[in-house]
Chains A and B, each alone.
Chain A
Amino acid sequence: MKPDVKRVIRSTQATAMTAWLWPFLWGTLLAICIVGIPHAQGIFQWIEPDVRQVIYQRTPFYVLLERHVLVVGVAAVVTISLGVGAGIAVTRRKGQDFLPLVSQLASLGQTFPPVAVLALAVPVLGFGTLPIIVALMLYGLLPIVRNTLAGLQDVDKDIKTAARAVGLTPLQVLYQVELPLAAPVILAGIRTSVTINIATAALGATVGASNLGDPIIAGIINNNMAYVIQGALVIALLALTVDSVFDALQTRLRLRLSSS
């Protein structure tokens, strides 16, 4: 192996390593917060000197975190399969007719304010976790559909024609050519969608879905700033962790695309 090739490989490995540094750091910080908040009586007492109870104790933070991640995760899985599925369907020849309507529908979804969707979903679905999942799905659909469409439409026509000419079936073209080439753009859409939804999910606490929004609501109602800070801190750290994981994934994807 030539020395410069070796150096390129080594620097590629180095970039791949540093890409995972941030998720690790944010994740560690998140873990420290989850474990440490119940023991940080002193700090929060300093923020709210007049209140007797400064640590949110109704539910342990790791349970709240778990529920929060579950809600966002379920919404993300449904949104991703719906959004990417719809994006693929309307860029095929048979589904072409639906292309304008689907893109309009997705942008309409983001026009609906999550609070209003949440409020309208409650009479139909009842109080609890279900309405917030629906609201998150509607809100998160646009970035995914938009990026899937953009990614698939940006794939060079000549490459597709060449792939067909080599004898690939349309399905093989989709899986082996179009999706891998569009993957970075689609992943960017998923990243936006999930990051927004981590913050938005806190609204669920207003309709009885227990998650990291709980301490915030309790803090606003009882005028206890310490609760609000605890909730906000954990949510922000969760969002930063997830965002940096996506960042690392994107880096890896880019490296793989450029190396092959």
Chain B
Amino acid sequence: MSLLDALPTPRLGRGGYPNAVLISLSVVMLAAVWGLDTVSVAPNRIVQGESVHVQNAFGWPGALLVSLLVIALGSLAYQPSRIHYWAALGVVVLLLVLMPFGLMVASHFLIDPELPQARLGIGGGYWVVLFISLLGIVELRLRLGLKRLWPVFILSGVGLIWWLCAWLWLKDLALVQEFKARDHQFIQAIRQHIILVSTAVSVSVVMGTLLALLMRRFARLQKVAFALLNFLQTIPSLALFGLLLAPLAWLAANVPFLAKVGVSGIGNTPALIALVAYSLLPMVRNTYTALEEVSPDTLEAASAMGMHRIQRFWQVRLPLALPVLLEGVRITTVQAIGLTAVAALIGAGGLGTFIFQGLGQAAMDMVLLGALPILILALLVDAGLGALAEALRPGGVQ
């Protein structure tokens, strides 16, 4: 279970105590808006950009608008009530929606149309405000007692608006330029990444569940298997990918059948094997504890009602264990999304290619083009599977 469900959610401030969390978030946001650089302007791809502060990027009216929104957020939190929290949520969403338009204004002010290579980078202030807005949404969700699905909906809407803006108007943005230069490659890489992750996770779900079931049957296996899986985790992912290169290359060279199936030293096969090996531990551990943790009283009640073993497993044990089991799938998938990026080093493709190519060329926008989708993918999977586990919990949402 995620930690949060175990924690008491604070009640809405009845006596109207100021919400210290939102107030401090808005103070930090205000400091970031005025203290850090908002955007950066670079004449081309390799040169480090020149940072620009908020009043020059948006002009004074824009800078004041942002500050007013942030101050409104803080003052709404001063006397919390349900209406005020909803209003604060509206303010945060408005702030998020306005972000790409701010970039448009900045590119209008700062980018010289005579220079075709000139590009606008997103500065530290922008990232901090974005991150703190996300924290604000999390905090407001908890205070309002909303389901996990809500932020997913809100952020998908915001993301759609960003995507449209980037597609239609933000041609000067460095990230967009970087994408336009290799859009086919990018879509190919995302597809590759998702295929690798989903294959590895499905294989490890099947294997993990089987292993957990066997462990419940044979107690001796449990110790050996956990020791082995724990040991696997101490080998760095980088090394595991590397170590598989030679044996698989040898197999591909000496067993023609395997080579025909597609086994080779570099590429997908070693990546998949390493991904599955790493995914097994969280998967097995969660499945095992999930199945073990079902209360013996419930099981006894099921037997007393006349269920036999197989019925008891499918109708009682498994449904009750499902949320914890899904938690294992969530951890495994998020971990696999990150590890697949490393797999790019052994030629497995995926979004990691952009990261390592970009690092090699010192082109940070390209690194961003690889890293951001990985981050978004991880957050999406995390939120989606978290919401699913919440919905599946017997007895509904707490």
Contact of B242 with A232 in the complex, beta carbons under 8 Å: yes
Tally the A-B contacts, defined by beta carbons under 8 Å. Answer: 156
How near does chain A come to B184, taking the closest CB pair, in angstroms?
Answer: 22
In the complex formed, the residue of A with least CB distance to B121 is A123
Chain A 220-260 interface mask (CB, 8 Å, partner B; 1/0): 10010100110110011001100100000000000000000
Q: Within the complex, which residue of A119, A149, A195 is in contact with B371, where a contact is CB–CB below 8 Å?
A: A119
Contact of A216 with B238 in the complex, beta carbons under 8 Å: yes
Contact of A116 with B341 in the complex, beta carbons under 8 Å: yes
Contact of B367 with A103 in the complex, beta carbons under 8 Å: no
Which residues of B have CB within 8 Å of A228? 239, 242-243, 245
Which residues of B have CB within 8 Å of A201? 236
Which residues of B have CB within 8 Å of A122? 359, 364, 367
In the complex formed, the residue of A with least CB distance to B124 is A124
Query: In whole angstroms, what is the CA distance A139 to B337 when docked?
Result: 14
Q: Does B86 contact A (CB under 8 A)?
A: no
Contact of A206 with B375 in the complex, beta carbons under 8 Å: no
Which residues of A have CB within 8 Å of B378? 111-113, 116
Q: Does B254 contact A (CB under 8 A)?
A: no
Q: B342-385: which residues lie under 8 A (CB-CB) from chain A?
A: 342, 345-346, 352, 355-356, 358-359, 364, 367-368, 370-372, 374-375, 378-379, 382
Which residues of A have CB within 8 Å of B355? 115-116, 119
Q: Does A217 contact B (CB under 8 A)?
A: yes
Segment from B2-10, B106-114, B208-216, B316-324 that makes contact with A: B2-10
Contact of B10 with A99 in the complex, beta carbons under 8 Å: yes
Which residues of A have CB within 8 Å of B370? 119
Which of B19, B335, B359, B379 counts the most chain A CB atoms within 10 A?
B359
Q: Does A205 contact B (CB under 8 A)?
A: yes
**In the complex, which range does the number of interface residues on chain A fall in?**
35 or more
Q: Within the complex, which residue of B238, B341, B372 is in contact with A202, where a contact is CB–CB below 8 Å?
A: B238
How near does chain A come to B14, taking the closest CB pair, in angstroms?
Answer: 14
In the complex formed, the residue of A with least CB distance to B136 is A101
Q: Within the complex, which residue of A105, A123, A149, A200 is in contact with B236, where a contact is CB–CB below 8 Å?
A: A200
Contact of A203 with B245 in the complex, beta carbons under 8 Å: no
Contact of A223 with B245 in the complex, beta carbons under 8 Å: yes
Q: Does A88 contact B (CB under 8 A)?
A: no
Known: A115-B338, A120-B375, A195-B234; 18 extra A-B contacts, CB below 8 A, are A107-B2, A110-B334, A111-B382, A115-B341, A115-B342, A116-B338, A116-B355, A119-B359, A123-B364, A198-B234, A202-B237, A202-B238, A206-B238, A206-B356, A228-B242, A235-B236, A235-B239, A236-B231
Instruction: Please list 12 pairs of residues, one from A and one from B, whose beta carbons are closer than 8 Å in the complex, sorted by A's number.
Output: A97-B21, A103-B3, A116-B375, A119-B367, A119-B370, A120-B371, A201-B236, A228-B239, A229-B243, A236-B231, A236-B234, A240-B231
Using CB atoms and an 8 Å cutoff, list the residues of chain B in contact with chain A. Answer: 2-4, 7, 9-10, 19-21, 124, 135, 138-139, 142, 231, 233-243, 245-246, 334-335, 337-339, 341-342, 345-346, 352, 355-356, 358-359, 364, 367-368, 370-372, 374-375, 378-379, 382
Closest 3 CB pairs of A and B: A113-B338, A232-B239, A228-B242
